[in-house]
Chains A and B, each alone.
Chain A
Amino acid sequence: MHELTMAQELIRIVEDEQLRHGFEKVEVVKIKAGGFSGIDRHALDFAFQVVREGTCAAQARLELNIEPVKIVCRSCGFSMSARDAASSCPLCKSLDIALEGDSSFEIVALEVD
């Protein structure tokens, strides 16, 4: 449940922005996460619903965009989504494959009133 820590940080950032911009409430919090961010969508939603109570984001919705992890073949360069988990390259059958993704987790925008 590290998502709870993340949700608390989200609220902290939102409240900082409220001080800076003076908006009344937040409608949408837009987040971009890398495929290796280790964030579970449902756990984050649940945690956010708990910590947003009594803040300017009490009604806010999370818009979470997770970039999928890619499998890339180090031999022939073929690349595919890691959702179709494979232990070898489907094209050249090489076992030398790599998982590519990043672990970023960023607020990219707030829709506010």
Chain B
Amino acid sequence: MSEIKLKKDVRSRNQQQADTNRRLFRKSGLLALNILGSPGSGKTSLIEQTARRLSSKLRILVVEGDVETERDADRIRALGIDAIQFQTHGSCHLDAMMVAQSLQEVKLDKVELLIIENVGNLICPAGFDLGEDLRIVVGSTAEGADKPIKYPEMYLHADACVLNKIDLLPYVDFNIEEFEAGARQTNEKLRLFRISCTTGSGIDPWCEYLQNSYTKQHNNMR
């Protein structure tokens, strides 16, 4: 018996593809978002609200990752926004290969904001870089305020955290300070947004953040 010493990142194949995706995104000057969060937190609603506000300013393409069905892509298309549905057929997360595959036929130089909605899940998607510029975690007041400290991996590499359903605060037992302090425990630099996709509250600052990020990204390319 002998021992072979290695230092091999098990996620390296995904990482290589993510780096390739990122290079492609950079080349076309677009801003790519990876939207994560539990099922029902309002990821698709956030994308709908974002698309409504920004589609007159930025050309948007949405990639919807779901285990089954075209439902989410249909919701986005109903707004007149281009959407691609990727069905993972069982897989609990998107990986960089799936993203590359869903974008194969797409002319990326026509896209300015690429929104990738991951499979609804607070654990598995955290470990897979897709090549995004911004990683966004969506939470909601209908979930427990302790979610960030229970699922820290999700928040660790995120750039922003969007807390949805703040219109429900009078009706639910949710401590918003506890939620935000928990999110900052794992990630001090996290940008925090409080929104309601139902009333539209807080959507403007969120869209401003995206627009500024796009402008920064686009200027960097030049």
Residue of chain B at shortest CB distance from A16: B8
User: Which among A6, A17, A38, A109 is the interface contact of B10 at CB below 8 angstroms?
Assistant: A6
A54 to chain B, nearest CB (A): 20
The answer to the question of A107 belonging to the interface, with a C-beta cut-off of 8 Å to chain B, is yes
Residue of chain A at shortest CB distance from B4: A110
B175 to chain A, nearest CB (A): 11
Which residues of the other chain, B, contact A108 by a CB distance below 8 angstroms?
5-7
Tell me how many residues of A have a C-beta within 8 Å of chain B. 35
Which residues of the other chain, A, contact B153 by a CB distance below 8 angstroms?
36-38, 103
Known contacts A109-B5, A111-B1, A9 near B185 by CB under 8 Å: no
Residue of chain A at shortest CB distance from B124: A2
Q: In the assembly, what is the distance between CA of A31 and CA of B10, in Å?
A: 9
Which residues of the other chain, B, contact A104 by a CB distance below 8 angstroms?
9
Residue of chain A at shortest CB distance from B148: A99
Interface string of A61-90 (1 = CB under 8 A from B): 000000001000000000000000101000
User: Which among A23, A38, A97, A98 is the interface contact of B123 at CB below 8 angstroms?
Assistant: A38
Once the chains bind, are B156 and A9 in contact (CB under 8 Å)?
no
User: Which among A17, A36, A85, A103 is the interface contact of B149 at CB below 8 angstroms?
Assistant: A85
The answer to the question of A57 belonging to the interface, with a C-beta cut-off of 8 Å to chain B, is no
Once the chains bind, are A105 and B11 in contact (CB under 8 Å)?
yes
Q: In the assembly, what is the distance between CA of A17 and CA of B95, in Å?
A: 24
User: Which among A2, A107, A111 is the interface contact of B127 at CB below 8 angstroms?
Assistant: A2
Residues of B in contact with A (beta carbons under 8 Å apart): 1-14, 91-93, 95, 123-124, 126-128, 149, 152-153, 156-157, 178, 181, 185-186, 188
A-B contact pairs, 24 of them (CB 8 A): A2-B92, A2-B128, A5-B91, A6-B11, A9-B12, A9-B13, A13-B10, A23-B4, A36-B156, A36-B186, A37-B127, A38-B153, A69-B152, A103-B126, A103-B127, A103-B153, A103-B157, A105-B10, A107-B8, A107-B10, A108-B6, A109-B6, A110-B3, A113-B1
Residues of A in contact with B (beta carbons under 8 Å apart): 1-2, 5-6, 9-10, 12-13, 17, 21, 23, 27, 31, 36-38, 69, 85, 87, 95, 97-99, 101, 103-113
